[in-house]
Structure 1
Amino acid sequence: MPIGIIGAGAIGTALGERLVAAGEQVLISNSRGPDSLQHLVAAAGPGLTATTVKEAAAEDIVVLAVPWRRLKDAVAATGLDDWSGRIVIDTTNPLGPPDFKVADLGGRTSSEVVADLVPGAKLVKAFNTLPPHVLGANPRTPAGRRVIFLSGDDAGANDRITRLIERAGWAAVDLGRLATGGRLQQFPGGPLPTLSLLKEN
C-alpha cells in the first residue's frame, strides 16, 4: 500500500526519497498542488507520485510533514473529519519560521495536540529528531544503522511503523506512549532531538 505524505519541504522530501529508495510507493503532496512537485518526482524516479493533499490523506499510512504554523490548514485541506482506519505519522515540532517561537502546548506533548486534529487516527511520533540531510542519507553506515525513535499510544500502530522503519534500513527504537516517549522526542525540550545515534549491525 502506498504511503501518503502531506508536506514536501525538507523533511517530507527527505523521508519520501528515502522510502522510495527502499522500495516503498509514496504519494507526496503540498498546498500548491501536484504540478509544483514534478521536479521532485523526476529526481526521485519511479515510486514517488505527486498528488493532492486529499489523495495523500486517503492512504492507510499518512505522514504529516508540515511546519507547525501550517498544521491546522494542512489537516483541514484533507477534508477529513474522521481519520479512523489510518495511522498518522507526526514528524512535526512545535516551533518554526518566521520567529521560531515555541508554541504553548498547555503542558501536553506536541503529538497529543496533533492527535486532537486527526480524530480516530492511530498517531505515531517519528522522524522528528534528525535534520533533513541526515534523515535523507543512507541509514546503513559502516558503523551501524541510524536510529529512528518512535512513540504512540496504539501498540499495533507502533509495530507497523517499526517494521516500515526497519524495511527502509533504519534501526527503530520504540519509546512507548506519547505522554512519555513523545516528550523524550520533542524539540525543543526533549533529550533526543539532534542525536544521531547508530545501532551496531
Structure 2
Amino acid sequence: MIVIMSGKRKKPPLDQDAVLTRLARAQQNQLLVTVRRWVPDADRLEGFVVGISPKWLALQRLSDRIAFDGWHLIRVKDIQAVSLDPDPECFEVKALQARSLWPPAAPELSLGDVVSSLKSASAITGMVSVFDEFARPDVCWIGAVTSLDDSKLHLREVNTRGGWASKPHTFDPADVTRIDFGGGYEEALRLVAGSPPTA
C-alpha cells in the first residue's frame, strides 16, 4: 500500500552531538519533542523519545487526538533539529495522564541498525510502514516483512482495501529512512488483511 506524504526541503544537520544530547534529555525528562529531518520533503514528527541508539531513534507517536498512536523509528543521521517542550506538565502530558495513557512506553526494541530495527518492529506487530524518503518522500509502503538481511528487505504489501499484494516489494535496507508500526491504521489493515500469504 502506498500513502502520500508532504513537506519542505531541509538543510543537513548542523551538530549531531547536540541533537543526541537533546534527545537524551527529552527521554530522561519525558518531554514532548518535535523532530525535523534534513530529508527532502520529510514530515515533522512529534512524540516522546522511548529509545535511542547511535543509529536509530524510537518515538512514541502522538496523534492529533492527543493519544499515543504507535511508534516512529527514525535514522539518527537524518535528524536536523529537535524541539523540546520544556514544560513536563504541558497540555499534551496532562491530557495523556487524564486518559490514563501516561507515561510513554516502548516494547522491547533493538535499535542497533536498520535490520535489527525492522526485525524488532515486525516481530511486535506483524505490520510495518517502510519509508525510503530520499527516493520517494511522498510515499510509504505498508505490509509484512517476509524476509530480511543486510542487503535485501522483502515486504508483502497490503492495499487500502486490506488485500495482500501478489508478490513482495524489494528494498535495500540501507535506503530505509523511517519505520512506523503499532499505529491505528497499521492495526486496522492487519485485522482486515489477516496473515500474509506464504507463497
Q: Highest Rg: 1 or 2?
A: 2
Q: Give the TM-score taking structure 2 as reference length.
A: 0.28
Q: Give the TM-score taking structure 1 as reference length.
A: 0.28
Larger % of helix: which?
1
